[in-house]
Amino acid sequence: MGIKAALPRYELFLYAAVLGVALIWAGSWISEASSENVNKKTFKESVKPGWHYFGRKMDVADFEWMMWFSTFRNHILFALVGHVIFAKIFTIISLILAPFYPQHRSLIFAMYGGLAVLVTMGWTFMALVLSHCIILYSVAMVKKKWMCFAAGLSTLASIKLEPYNSWQEALVTGSFDLQDVLFYGGCGFSIMRCMSFALENCEKKDGNYTFCDLLKYNFYLPFFFFGPIMTFDRYHVQANNTQLTRKEREMWNITTKALLHLGVILVVDVFFHYLYILTIPSDMKLVTKLSDWCLAGLAYSNLVYDWVKAAVMFGVINTVATLDHLDPPQPPKCITMLYVFAETHFDRGINDWLCKYVYDYIGCDHDNIFKELLATICTFAVTTLWLGPCELVYIWSFFNCFGLNFELWVAKFFSLPPFSMIEGSMGEAMSRRIRGVFNAANFWAIVLYNVLSLNSLEFAKTVGRRLIFKGFPLSTLSVLFVTYCGVQLVKERERQQALQEEPEPATPVDGRKQEFFRLLGETGPCMVPSSALTTVIEPDRMPASISAVP
């Protein structure tokens, strides 16, 4: 049924109350487990001294978050601030030497980015990245998509598979603390950008893009090491736009988002001192002693945190890109807002890349079961290579690929009679409630299929057994009911957005009837000729009082 199906307001208030109480209840269990086990020996490596005055220790289990806001903080701030200042200087110069800057700002960005990469990583890394660019540019000139894919995926495999990745990493020598992280990030995103360039060049009908276009695209510093990926067609148009004007209140929105990111960082820091959501799942002996609600809260909060981390990291970079008059890919959709696999992604840039060149290209309208199966298999095959092939990635890819296809199979099955007839005969609100039950189960499938990549396969299996088998029926049904309440609140938010974007149209009136009533308004009923009446309204559908007019 339609997305605009409404539910009674009191019902939505009940859902909000149930969800709020459940989140507080699960959070209390996690807080209690964190406080009681803070001094365990198994926590020593991942729980470090934090707020001395409050006597709280901090969960530092996530290397990536700690890297960004401790070791890497000064480096990234220095590099991004330098990029903004460099761009601002040339913006001022453009006022004097106009119109030099608007046409060449992408070249200026690339010059600064290339210089920053060279200083940070050294000339051997720069030579390696340039070799990847040259190889894929050469293949792009052939304008064969299958060759571009073959060359791109082979190059990507060279930094993801042994022994080729170790050999290339050994070429980049130095004592920089984050050199290994920047090596894989810079090479991986660079190859994906080069593949986008090559595939877009195949679509170009008149001539080819230049090698300089590729370098300008690849060495834009905010995106270079950590993404997100903008496909070449989007970046090329935006970076070469000469109309550098700001939208209304755009600078206000940029400032607001920057302050919001700072606030989120502080909130995460507070939570890390009271809820050890990353450390607890690593101690399986402790996990087996926790309550079902605590396990459900841990699984859910780990995925929410992963979204927050991606939203903050990409948000900071996107703020800089927006200052450069670009429209970068937005942060991923929060796991709380997801109840279908089709919208599940944690990097919108990679997701856009995969959809454009693999998923949508093969799957077309995603209505055919066999095309959809082939499209998802190919998409997750590329994703597996991108993440780095290993047992855990294989399992994650298999289950998410299955979930995406299972959704289509179920939708196809229930679209057949008699199910479609049953749904058509019931009210829209009841249809929404029934769909919400299935969406709640789907939500936990998404959680279990993805939490294994964030924590461990053992933790995901333990949560699944406790919530599905050992906790049945009390824990299972209660968690599903709470999830159902959350899904209905998300659906209500989507309904409100749909109404704002596309208001309900007025009931259409037949054009000939409109003409008839216009004649009535202008001449009165006695002055309307019978020929006009018979052409405006069909004789067999005319009321008796009108058909009798001479």
Over residues 490-515, the pLDDT tens digits come to: 999 999 988 887 755 544 444 444 44
Q: How confident is the model at residue 316 (pLDDT cuts 50, 70, 90)?
A: confident
Specify the higher pLDDT residue, 247 or 116. Answer: 116
Cis peptide leading into residue 228 (ω within 30°): yes
* Per-residue pLDDT, 415: 86
Task: Give the mean pLDDT of the chain.
Answer: 83
pLDDT at position 529: 38
Q: Where is mean pLDDT largest: 40-44, 92-96, 292-296?
A: 292-296
Q: Are 276 and 239 in contact (CB under 8 A)?
A: no
Q: Are the beta carbons of 214 and 221 closer than 8 angstroms?
A: no
Of residues 510 and 381, more confidence is placed in 381
What's the CA gap between 36 and 111, in Å, rounded?
Answer: 54
- Output the pLDDT for position 382: 95
Q: Where are the alpha helices (DSSP H) in 174-279?
A: 179-203, 211-218, 221-224, 232-239, 250-274
Q: Sort strands 56-59 and 47-51 into parallel, antiparallel or unpaired.
A: antiparallel
- pLDDT level of residue 522 (50, 70, 90 thresholds): very low
What type of residue is 378?
C
Say whether 44 sits in a helix, a strand or coil: coil
In the numeric block, which tokens belong to residue 485? 């309440």
**Mean pLDDT value across residues 15-39:** 93
Whether residue 348 has pLDDT greater than 60: yes
> Which pLDDT belongs to residue 101?
52
CA separation for the pair 351, 69 (Å, rounded): 26
How far apart CA 7 and CA 144 sit, in angstroms, is 52
Q: What average pLDDT does the segment 75-100 reach?
A: 74
- Does residue 448 or residue 529 have the better pLDDT? 448
- Residue 526, pLDDT > 70, answer no
Residue 264 pLDDT exceeds 60: yes
- 382-404 per-position pLDDT tens digit: 999 999 889 999 999 999 999 98
Q: Residue 85 has what pLDDT?
A: 86
| Contact between 403 and 382 (Cβ < 8 Å) | no
Mean pLDDT of all residues in 407-426: 86
Higher pLDDT, 106 or 451: 451
Q: CA-to-CA distance for 550 and 531, rounded, in angstroms?
A: 10
Query: What's the pLDDT band for 550 if we cut at 50, 70, 90?
Result: very low
What DSSP element (H or E) covers 48?
strand 47-51
Mean pLDDT of 448-457: 89
- The string of pLDDT tens digits covering residues 318-344 is 888 988 889 898 888 888 888 888 887
DSSP 391-440: HHHHHHHHHHHHHHHHHHHHHHHHTSTTHHHHHHHS-HHHHHHHHHHHHH
Of residues 534 and 232, more confidence is placed in: 232
* Lowest mean per-residue pLDDT among 312-321, 405-414, 509-518: 509-518
Check residue 412 and give its pLDDT.
Answer: 87
